[in-house]
Amino acid sequence: MLYVYIAIAVVIVGVSIFFLVREVKNPKKKLTEGGDVIDSKRRIEKAVQNLESMEELVKTNDKLKTKLASLKEIIRFLNPVKNDKVKVIDEKILARLDDMKIEISKDENSETIWRMIEEVEGYIAQRTKEV
């Protein structure tokens, strides 16, 4: 009877080791849908972080600071989605926000910043249509 229990334990350990080695050699690929949604969420978080850093850069222009705060709240509540068109729009938003940060660091009273904000708002409107 003891031999039967030992044999069962050896089989269980052997099967466990087999699946463990197989998983180490060939890990499961990340699910495409979940991965795309997570990437979308990361892009949104990065945009929010960019806007927060821009708010810190603005020293004297209260109107601009308020506009950046409202834009940050709009972007914060965007839905992360799996959609190639939305991904392209998100990348455009991030690129424009990077340009805005550079422009703000040069001169926070520049008219170019307001045009960039209008572009970002247009991208957000386009993004909400695509979802």
Mean pLDDT of 84-88: 93
- Residue 33, pLDDT above cutoff 60: no
Give 114's pLDDT tier (boundaries 50, 70, 90).
Answer: very high
- Residue 25, pLDDT above cutoff 70: yes
78 vs 24 pLDDT, higher one? 78
2 vs 35 pLDDT, higher one? 2
Task: Note the pLDDT of residue 31.
Answer: 45
pLDDT tens digits along 87-110 = 999 999 999 999 999 999 999 999
117 vs 30 pLDDT, higher one? 117
Task: Note the pLDDT of residue 28.
Answer: 62
Task: Note the pLDDT of residue 102.
Answer: 94
11 vs 78 pLDDT, higher one? 78
Residue 119: partners with Cβ closer than 8 Å, 6 or more residues away:
96
Q: What is the pTM of this model?
A: 0.73
Average pLDDT for the chain: 89
